[in-house]
Every structure is written in C-alpha cells, then in structure tokens.
Copies of this chain bind each other. A is one copy, B any other.
Amino acid sequence: MSPRKAAAVPDSESLPAHLVAAAERLIARQGAAGLTVRAIAKEARVADGVLYNHFADKEELIARALRAHVRTVRGGLPPLPRPGEGDLETGLRAYVEHGVALHLAILPAFAGLVARPGVLARLAGLDEDDHQDDGGLRVRLTDFLRAEQAAGRVAADADPEAAATMVVGACHELVLPPLLSGVPVEEIRVPPGFAGRVVATCLHGLVPR
C-alpha cells in the first residue's frame, strides 16, 4: 500500500532528508560548487534519478543542503548572549568565537557559489525570513552592543554598527585569505588568543588614554 523505500535509507528518515543529509556531508567536505548529482546519489547510496522525484532540480537540493549545513553548524555552537545579558567583554568574546567557528565551516561551503546566481537565489527563496547565510551575526552583534550602550557600558558616542562590522569582519579575515591562498580548510588555524585580542582592541581602541 505504501510505496517502496530505498534500501539505503534508514527507517527513521525520509528520502528527501536522506538526500539533503548526503549532500550536506559532501558540502561540508568539499564545498557546494563542484557537486554533481551523481556524486550526491552515490554518497546517499541511492539511484541516480531519485533526486528528481523530490526536488525540482539539482539547485533546489543543494540550496536545501546548504541551509541544513548552516543550521547544523549553528546548532553545534554555544548560543549567543542576548542583548543585555552577561558582561560586555565575555559577550563580545562569545561573538568572536561563534563567528570564527561559523565562518570556518560556512565560508568554504558557500564561497564557490559566488557569481553562480542559481543556487544562491534558490537559497534566498527558501525562506524569506532566515536567508542571512551567517544567521545575521552582524546584526545580532549590533543589537547586543546597542543594549550595552543603553546600559552605559559602551560609550555614548561609540558606533555599535561599525564595531560589529569590524568584529565579524575579523572572523572572516581569519578564514577567507587562507582559503583564497589555496590552504585547505582543515589546515586553517586560529591563532591562540585571537578572540581575546580582537575583543581588547575593540574595547579600548588604539589611541593612548
């Protein structure tokens, strides 16, 4: 009465989910750019054509796998401090650590898609609310800093938005240049003390007091 199930798909999982998971694994390993439908089917241990029973085309599957990848990564990170919560320095440090881990996992997956309109557009269309690939990290940090500013722990004339851009940018900066120099993701190292140094610089600036 119910239709057949693919041999390689565990009972607990639907085939679309299984395919997305397989694609997600490949994306985590080698990025989303060079994936082929055959490679995905093979990774899922499933016939070549199945994907078209569940997704409009390759791009839709990859868009969903990318979203799943982002969610998986984010789900594995400690939650970000909410605005008004905890002390400034600890909070900032949490943002930096979050950003580094996130970008380390996400940039390699996404970068190859730049200038390939298809998948990114598809991803943007998946859900309009949540289409910030990095989960709106910069915006959330801005909000956090604004709350600190309202509480008087950040100077009234400081610029939370610029600061957030710099902090999140520093996280990018750790990942992107090695990537663009051909360093494999696995070999990218976070220099010891990175978060602390970024936080300190952000807090006190360069000018002598």
Contacts and interface: CB of A to CB of B under 8 A. Distances in A.
Interface string A161-200: 1110111111111101101111010000000001001101
A177 B114 contact: no
B180 A114 contact: yes
Name the interface size band of chain A: 35 or more
Given A121-B182, A182-B123, A206-B155, A169 B162 contact: no
A204 interface: yes
A97 interface: no
A17 interface: no
B172 A176 contact: yes
A112 interface: yes
Contacts of A111: 111-112, 114-115, 180
Contact of A108 (B88, B115, B162): B115
A85 interface: no
A154 B208 CA distance: 6
A201 B114 contact: no
A115 B155 contact: no
17 contacts: A33-B33, A33-B116, A112-B114, A120-B182, A123-B182, A133-B180, A138-B173, A148-B206, A155-B207, A158-B201, A162-B200, A163-B206, A166-B202, A168-B173, A203-B207, A204-B205, A204-B207
